Amino acid sequence: MLKNSRLAVLMILLTLPGQIHAGRVIGGHEAKKHSRPYMVLLEMHNLGGTKTFCGGFLLNENFMMTAAHCQANSYSVKLGLHNKQDHIDDTISVQKAFPHTEYDSATYNNDIMLLKLSPKVNINDNVKPIALADHDTEFLPQNCSVSGWGETNWTTKLLPSKLMEINVTLKDDVLCKNAKSYCSVGNTGPGQGDSGGPLVCEDGRAFGVVSSFFRINDTAKFRYTKIPDFQDWIKSTMKKALKMNQ
């Protein structure tokens, strides 16, 4: 957690409790229907029958990605969704979760997780994977956006539940870079319920995973786990997971 001796700083996870209806990203606008076919609404089932929600994104017919803090006892993966209140047939189970082995729940470092899906995803016009940024991508990406069904502002909870999106500008931040993260600053960005969704930049590739944000007085710093720094882990984890079923 970032610390500041003069300012009250609070790190907030962007996971949405089940009793709050998912709305939209803070300050965003409705996405064009099915313009982001890689988006996943992840329903997490916890002990006691409670539900929480995160975002996520499809990598291929076998795997999706989300944040490591979105761990649960079991999951339901909803694909091809625009309005979360609509009934859809594309709901898939998670066979096994692979949170990063060095995920730190105190600092949210290495906040990245792969989910092995079962059965395999049926790829179609409304359900498609997204490509990941290469592991040798060292520059700070431009023209980035985030999307999700999370809250639309800091106070209102009951909101429309269509997929929302907003552009964000990444800042060159040493602390974020040392934590293998990207960061954006301001009062607009991902809200609670958007954890695990993709930071999409440049030519439509996923560069980051929505993780958490810090409130510093009236300003927020949004944090995204940096996918290029985890490419070796992603590839080796998927390879091992597929071998388990052979």
Please check whether residues 111 and 146 belong to one and the same domain.
no
Q: Residue 237 burial by CB count (10 A; 0-12/13-18/19+): exposed, middle or buried?
A: buried
Whether residue 184 lies inside any domain: the answer is yes
d(CA 45, CA 42): 10
Residue-range definition of the domain harbouring residue 59: 37-129+230-244
Per-residue pLDDT of the chain (246 residues; tens, 9 = 90+): 222 323 333 455 555 444 332 333 566 789 999 999 999 999 999 887 888 899 999 999 999 999 999 999 999 999 999 998 886 767 899 999 999 999 999 999 999 999 999 999 999 999 999 999 998 777 899 899 999 988 766 565 545 479 999 999 999 989 999 999 999 988 778 877 899 999 999 889 999 999 988 777 777 789 999 999 999 999 999 999 998 876
pLDDT of residue 21: 28
pLDDT of residue 168: 94
Whether residue 14 lies inside any domain: the answer is no
The CATH code of the domain that includes 189 is 2.40.10.10
The count of structural domains within the chain is 2
102 Cα distance to chain centroid: 18
Rg of the chain over Cα atoms, rounded to whole angstroms, equals 17
Please check whether residues 184 and 209 belong to one and the same domain.
yes
d(CA 61, CA 185): 34
d(CA 195, CA 112): 10
Please check whether residues 43 and 58 belong to one and the same domain.
yes
Please check whether residues 163 and 103 belong to one and the same domain.
no
Please check whether residues 206 and 165 belong to one and the same domain.
yes
pLDDT of residue 14: 56
Please check whether residues 222 and 235 belong to one and the same domain.
no
Please check whether residues 188 and 158 belong to one and the same domain.
yes
Among all residues, which ones are annotated catalytic? Answer: 69, 111, 195
- pTM for this prediction: 0.87
CA–CA distances in Å: residue 9 to residues 3, 29, 32, 213, 217? 7, 28, 35, 10, 7
Please check whether residues 67 and 150 belong to one and the same domain.
no
Structure tokens belonging to residue 65: 């990605």
pLDDT of residue 25: 54
Whether residue 162 lies inside any domain: the answer is yes
Please check whether residues 67 and 180 belong to one and the same domain.
no
Q: Tell me the three-class secondary structure of 37-75, residue by residue.
A: CCEEEEEEECHHHCEEEEEEEECCCCEEEECHHHCCCEE
Whether residue 115 lies inside any domain: the answer is yes
Q: Give the residue from 67, 43, 64 showing the smallest Cα distance to 53.
A: 43
pLDDT of residue 151: 74
Please check whether residues 136 and 221 belong to one and the same domain.
yes
Please check whether residues 150 and 117 belong to one and the same domain.
no
178 φ, ψ (degrees, to nearest 5): -65, -25
Whether residue 99 lies inside any domain: the answer is yes
Whether residue 15 lies inside any domain: the answer is no
Whether residue 17 lies inside any domain: the answer is no
Please check whether residues 122 and 150 belong to one and the same domain.
no
pLDDT of residue 135: 81
